[in-house]
Each structure stands twice: as structure tokens, then as C-alpha cells.
Amino acid sequence: MSSITVTPSRRGFSFAEYITCLNGIVWREALRFLHQRERFISALVRPLVWLFIFAAGFRQVLGISIIPPYETYILYEVYIAPGLMAMIQLFNGMQSSLSMVYDREMGNMRTLLVSPLPRGYLLFCKLLAGTAVSLLQVYAFLVIAWLWDITPPPIGYLTVLPALVLSGLMLGALGMLISSGIKQLENFAGVMNFVIFPMFFASSALYPLWRVQEGSPMLYYVCQLNPFTHAVELIRFALYGQINWISLGVVAGCTAVFMIGAILAYDPSRGLARRGPAGGET
């Protein structure tokens, strides 16, 4: 047995190598998304169904008073547009984590994890890539919404971008954190019931919180504690060129916590260990 003698090998990685890696992961994620046309269409159809059907039906039932950031009375469709943008990102975050579980089960994840770059950085790149894909979907939705007469100020299309990046990262990190605890693909259906629906409905996406407070003070506090509410409000204000500082703080804090948790909790061996005996790999 030889003693450990080190062969010189370049230590660390240059900035250019980090950027190349990030570009590669985002590029691959975008390619996969574009190849899956059904995913793109369904990602768009979901919020549009809410916008065209649900909002049209509820327009007369739910009156919206003048609340910041709006300076006048608005149609219900205008109110729920930011919530639907956040919904796109919520579903995309969960879809990304679903694909991570799938990749882990199918073995593709190994390609990523044997990269020599730091594992935490690789997972961060995956998150950024998922966020980039969600941005494509959100802006496609905004184009259609514009045709439906939902017209925020032109500058809003630009000022909403950082808010979308931050909320996309938060929801992606949450998805990754959840996927780190899922042992197999079949268990992912529970995420729909226990995460996506409660987060979406117990938020300000569909109705203003003062309305919720009138109906149920308890639910109001639940909504206030829901990070998704703050993602919606961050997007809503940013779309009108304003900053909701509380929402910004909550979303930034949750992003950091979820991301650190996901990176620490992500155990690549979870799926592989299960596959071992079953798949003949030991």
C-alpha cells in the first residue's frame, strides 16, 4: 500500500470556470424546458385558466378597495395577476425539485454531482437555472395578460425582474429542501396536497388579506406567516415600481434559510442507496 503522496494538481477554480459551469447548467435546464413543449404549455395554461375563467367569474363577487400599491380601483383580474405570476414560480419550483428526484432515481444526477466544483455551488446553479426557466414562463404570461388589458406601467416589467428572481430562488430552494426529504418519486404527489395548495390558498394571491381578516382572523395570521404571501406582495409592489420592504426582508430571509437548508440536507445517496439492492447495484 502506498503512502499518500500528492501529485500536483491545480487547486481551486477560477471565476471563469464557475461562470462556465453556471452557464452550462442554465443552458441545459433551458434546453430541457424547450424540448418539453407540453410542460411549457401547461405552465401557461394553469394561470390563464385562473385569469380567464376564475377571475371573470369572481369579478362581481369580490370587490377590491384601493390598497397599495394600487392608486385607484382595479379589476379583480388586475389584482390576481401578481398572485398568478407567483403561482407560476411556485409550480415551477416544485417541478424543478420533482425533476431532481427523477434525475436522482434515473442516475442523471450523478453527472452533476461528480463535477469537481463545490457541491453547494452546483446546487445553487440548479436553483438559478430553475429560476431562469420560471422567468421565461412569467414573462410569457405577462405578454398574454397585457392582451387581456392587464397593463402595469412599462417600467414595471423591468422593476419586477429582481423580485421575480428572488421569489423564484425562494420557491426553488423550498422545492429542493422538500425533495431532499423525499426518498422516491411516488411520494412527490403528497407535495401537491400538503405544500402547493395550502401555500397558494392561504396567501394574498387570490384575495387581499384585509378581506381574509374579516372572515377569519386565525387564517389571516396563517397567511401573514406564509412566505408565499410575501413573495406575492413583493412581486405586486415591484410590478408597480415600488418596494414592499417587509416582504423583501421575509423573502430574502426565507431564501437564505431554505437554500442553506437544502444544500445541507441534500443527500445524493438517498435515491442511490435505495436503488442499490433493487437495481443490482451494491
Binding stretches for other proteins (CB under 8 A): 1-2, 4-14, 16-18, 20-21, 23-25, 27-28, 31-32, 35-36, 106-108, 110-118, 122, 268-269, 272-273, 275-277, 279-282
Determine the residue type at 161.
L
> Could you give phi then psi for residue 226, rounded to 5 degrees?
-80, 120
Looking at the Cβ atoms of 31 and 260, the one nearer to other proteins is 31
Smallest separation (angstroms) from other proteins to the CB of 9? 5
Exposure string of 54-71, with b = 16+ CB inside 10 Å and e = fewer, is bbeebeeeeebeeeebee
Smallest separation (angstroms) from other proteins to the CB of 25? 7
> Could you give phi then psi for residue 113, rounded to 5 degrees?
-75, -15
Looking at the Cβ atoms of 154 and 277, the one nearer to other proteins is 277
Looking at the Cβ atoms of 110 and 190, the one nearer to other proteins is 110
Smallest separation (angstroms) from other proteins to the CB of 179? 17
Q: How does DSSP classify residue 218?
A: H
Q: Closest Cα partner for 141 from 52, 58, 220?
A: 52
Smallest separation (angstroms) from other proteins to the CB of 197? 30
CB 239 within 8 A of CB 75: no
Smallest separation (angstroms) from other proteins to the CB of 135? 20
Smallest separation (angstroms) from other proteins to the CB of 90? 25
Exposure string of 218-252, with b = 16+ CB inside 10 Å and e = fewer, is eebeebbebbbbbbbbbbbbbbbeeebeebbebbe
| Half-sphere exposure for 42 (CA within 13 Å, toward CB) | 8
Looking at the Cβ atoms of 5 and 60, the one nearer to other proteins is 5
| Half-sphere exposure for 98 (CA within 13 Å, toward CB) | 15
Looking at the Cβ atoms of 217 and 276, the one nearer to other proteins is 276
CB 168 within 8 A of CB 89: yes
Cell triple for 85: 405570476
Looking at the Cβ atoms of 112 and 232, the one nearer to other proteins is 112
Smallest separation (angstroms) from other proteins to the CB of 85? 27
Looking at the Cβ atoms of 184 and 216, the one nearer to other proteins is 184
